[in-house]
């Protein structure tokens, strides 16, 4: 199957079935095994690129198409977006190829009557790509930011309100290419040894910025092929999460409960600090995701982790722990650059719902904390209501807890994902 | 080995359908050991995996006579007769109810070596097999009682 046809399938899957883009892409790639690595790379780049720049692409298309993009048939809509992305962002693809291939696909999928339309719009964009009218003269206006960063207006407004000094860096940060952060499993290998091993395989590797277990790697094909992966020498985790688990102050022999554990990053980080002692109860509501935790725990080689299915909003009887890890469902505004679906799917009204859910879970799980024990609350969002405001509410409601440490990482400002954690100690 | 947390009625995990087990792993062996330990510690005569938050088709039974039974992916292939009697459950502590069950069942399952076994049960064993297998489909005995549940001081577990 032709690469562009595969991308069209992926985009249609996302557009019409609301499939998450990472799932749609990996499904398509595994269905079509390629010998040629470049084909894979092309498919990934084009489908991710379209999703990353969706609002921008639609804005450009609407300038040159008589039929507005949301009035087009879904297949034509996807074709125009793909074509426009290649013209605007892929220097290696001649504009003529982008147009011709789109026309071919329109015909192939039974839209011969619209092939001329597709051709016209794309050629028009190709001719005029260097003088596209900007959405507003004011470069700080919400309309301008929304188109430039392909971010819904409400979200631009929120970021500008919450971060009046740094919102531009944050938006830039969403598009910045960052190295992959990995956490060295120091129960099996030292950081320097692993660094040397990865380096010898010709993969670029540096020390992390914040955590002494972190390495940053780049220029590798598949994470599973990086030396040491199968042996459980490392796991992929953002440095912000590593800092959070470190701050929880886990000691040998501690009992730990991780209430929303999938895919198991914090569970395994905690297991490394326990180093074979103590016990971790690692739970998640989603049965499918439990397999991810199992995979990670088994690969890293820990046998003191008990994985089970549980809805964190429900109270478990007779459970207590020295450290409770509550990395809760959140709006994900700290990782909008890495997961394109978030920014398009999240609606402003959902934010209040999430705060409610987080508080509901905190009420339940704080009960598991032993006296002198620790509750680690964290999110991968930079929305203050879900972070600092929640912690204020919590301390007010549960005066037996004190705030030992809190930390906010902001993407584009710090060298990691946007992330928040608070270490709450029970008196 | 570890005592696992027994999930109580009201926990959604008790109402879900469990998935078949495809292969024996170290993790699964650990789960089986933990389930026996948890069952004995709670004075139960049977325990199903969902009762410790694991949605897999696995139960352990020990009614105090004969060998303990580990049943993986069990199915009842034949049931006959009828018995009426009291049942309890570790997930509904302090309660009992009257349930009608077959008096005799034949059950096919895999053992800890993933080899096919056939277990025949009468009376209490038949009752225990039916009760535990129901758990794997999200069914609790309280769904089947003749006249609801009543409190007992010393819960007798099934």
Question: What residue segments make up the domains of chain B, in order of their start?
Answer: 12-151
CA trace torsion B131, B133, B135, B140 (10° rounding): -30
CB of B57 within 8 Å of a chain A CB? The answer is: no
Helix (H) or strand (E) holding A370: strand A369-379
Residues 63-92 of B with CB under 8 A from A: none
pLDDT tens, position by position, A223-239: 888 999 999 999 999 99
CA B53 to chain A, closest CA, distance in angstroms equals: 5
Q: What is the mean pLDDT of each run of 10 residues along chain A (427 residues)?
A: 92 94 89 76 93 96 92 96 96 94 96 95 95 88 95 96 96 90 97 97 96 94 90 97 98 97 97 96 92 94 94 91 98 91 93 98 97 98 98 98 98 96 96
CB of B2 within 8 Å of a chain A CB? The answer is: yes
Region for residue A100 given its phi and psi (left: phi exceeds 0; alpha: psi -120 to 50; beta: otherwise): alpha
Residues 266-285 of A with CB under 8 A from B: 279, 281, 283
Rg (alpha carbons) of chain A, rounded to whole number: 24
pLDDT in the model for residue B65: 87
Residue-range domains of chain A with CATH: 3-131 (1.10.940.10), 142-173 (no CATH), 180-236 (3.30.70.1170), 243-426 (3.40.50.150)
The bridge status of strand A214-218 relative to strand A204-207 is antiparallel
- Of A49, A65, A46, A67, which Cα lies nearest the Cα of A128? A65
Q: Looking at the predicted structure, is the pLDDT value of residue B16 above 60?
A: yes
Assign domain B12-151 to its CATH superfamily. Peptide deformylase (3.90.45.10)
Backbone φ, ψ for residue A37 (5° rounding): -60, -30
* pTM of this prediction exceeds 0.80: yes
Minimum-distance CB partner of B2 among A279, A298, A316:
A279
**A388-397 vs A348-365: helix crossing angle, rounded to 10:** 40
Residues 100-139 of B with CB under 8 A from A: none
HSE at residue A154, side-chain half, CA atoms within 13 A, is 10
Question: Nearest 5°: CA angle at B146, between B143 and B151?
Answer: 80
pLDDT in the model for residue B146: 93
CB of A294 within 8 Å of a chain B CB? The answer is: yes
CA B5 to chain A, closest CA, distance in angstroms equals: 7
CA distance A331 to A344: 12
Question: Do the chains contact at B5 and A298, CB–CB below 8 Å?
Answer: no
Question: Do the chains contact at B8 and A298, CB–CB below 8 Å?
Answer: no
- Of A293, A297, A248, A292, which Cα lies nearest the Cα of A271? A297
With contacts defined as CB-CB under 8 Å, which chain B residues touch A309?
13, 16, 53-55
Other residues' Cβ atoms within 10 Å of the Cβ of residue B43: 11
Question: Do the chains contact at A314 and B10, CB–CB below 8 Å?
Answer: yes
pLDDT in the model for residue A176: 86
With contacts defined as CB-CB under 8 Å, which chain B residues touch A311?
11-13
Query: What's the mean pLDDT in B41-59?
Result: 96
CA A322 to chain B, closest CA, distance in angstroms equals: 16
Minimum-distance CB partner of A316 among B5, B16, B27:
B5
With contacts defined as CB-CB under 8 Å, which chain A residues touch B4?
306, 308
């Amino acid at each position: 199957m032709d690469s562009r046809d595969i991308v069209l399938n992926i985009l249609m899957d996302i557009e019409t079935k609301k499939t998450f883009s990472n799932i749609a892409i990996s499904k398509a790639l595994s269905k079509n095994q390629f010998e040629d690595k470049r084909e894979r790379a092309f498919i990934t780049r084009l489908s991710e690129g379209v999703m990353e720049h969706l609002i921008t692409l639609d804005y450009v298309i609407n300038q040159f198409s008589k039929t507005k993009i949301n009035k087009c048939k879904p297949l034509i809509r996807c074709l125009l977006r793909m074509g426009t992305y290649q013209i605007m962002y892929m220097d290696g693809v001649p504009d003529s190829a982008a147009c011709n291939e789109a026309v071919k696909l329109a015909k192939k999928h039974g839209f011969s009557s619209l092939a001329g339309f597709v051709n016209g719009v794309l050629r028009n964009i190709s001719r005029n790509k260097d003088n596209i009218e900007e959405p507003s003269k004011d470069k700080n206006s919400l309309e301008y930011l929304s188109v430039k960063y392909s971010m819904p207006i409400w979200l631009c407004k929120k970021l500008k309100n919450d971060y009046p000094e740094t919102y531009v860096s944050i938006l830039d940060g969403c598009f910045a290419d960052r190295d992959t952060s990995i956490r060295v499993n120091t129960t099996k290998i030292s950081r320097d040894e692993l660094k040397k091993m990865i380096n010898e395989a010709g993969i670029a590797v540096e020390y992390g910025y914040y955590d002494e277990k972190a390495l940053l790697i780049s220029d590798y094909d598949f994470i599973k092929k990086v030396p040491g992966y199968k042996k459980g020498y490392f796991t992929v985790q953002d440095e912000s999460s590593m800092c959070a688990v470190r701050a929880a102050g886990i000691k040998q022999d501690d009992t730990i409960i991780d209430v929303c554990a999938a895919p198991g990053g914090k569970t395994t980080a905690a297991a490394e600090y326990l180093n074979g002692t103590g016990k971790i109860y690692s739970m998640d509501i989603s049965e499918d995701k439990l397999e991810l935790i199992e995979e990670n725990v088994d690969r890293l080689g820990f046998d003191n982790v008990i994985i089970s299915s549980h809805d964190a909003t429900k109270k478990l009887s007779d459970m207590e722990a020295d450290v409770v890890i509550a990395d809760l469902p959140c709006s994900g505004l700290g990782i909008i650059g890495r997961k394109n679906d978030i920014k398009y799917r999240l609606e402003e009204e959902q934010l209040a719902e999430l705060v409610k859910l987080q508080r509901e879970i905190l009420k339940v799980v704080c009960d598991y904390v032993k006296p002198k024990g620790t509750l680690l609350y964290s999110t991968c969002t930079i929305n203050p209501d879900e972070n600092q405001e929640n912690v204020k509410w919590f301390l007010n409601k549960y005066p037996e807890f004190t705030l030992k440490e809190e930390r906010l990482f902001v993407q584009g400002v710090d060298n990691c994902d946007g992330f928040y954690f608070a270490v709450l100690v029970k008196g | 080995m570890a005592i696992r947390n027994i999930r109580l009625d009201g926990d959604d995990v008790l109402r879900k359908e469990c998935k078949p087990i495809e292969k024996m792993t170290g993790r699964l062996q650990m789960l089986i050991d933990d389930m026996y330990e948890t069952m004995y510690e709670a004075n139960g005569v049977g325990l199903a995996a969902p009762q410790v938050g694991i949605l897999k088709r696995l139960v352990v039974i020990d009614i105090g006579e004969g060998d303990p039974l580990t049943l993986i992916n069990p199915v009842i292939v034949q049931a006959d007769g009828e018995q009426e009697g009291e049942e309890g459950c570790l997930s509904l502590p302090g309660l009992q109810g009257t349930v009608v069950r077959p008096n005799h069942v034949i059950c096919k399952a895999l053992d800890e070596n993933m080899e096919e076994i056939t277990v025949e049960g009468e009376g209490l064993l038949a009752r225990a097999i039916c009760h535990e297998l129901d758990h794997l489909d999200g069914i609790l005995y309280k769904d089947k009682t003749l006249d609801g549940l009543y409190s007992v001081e010393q819960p007798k577990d099934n």
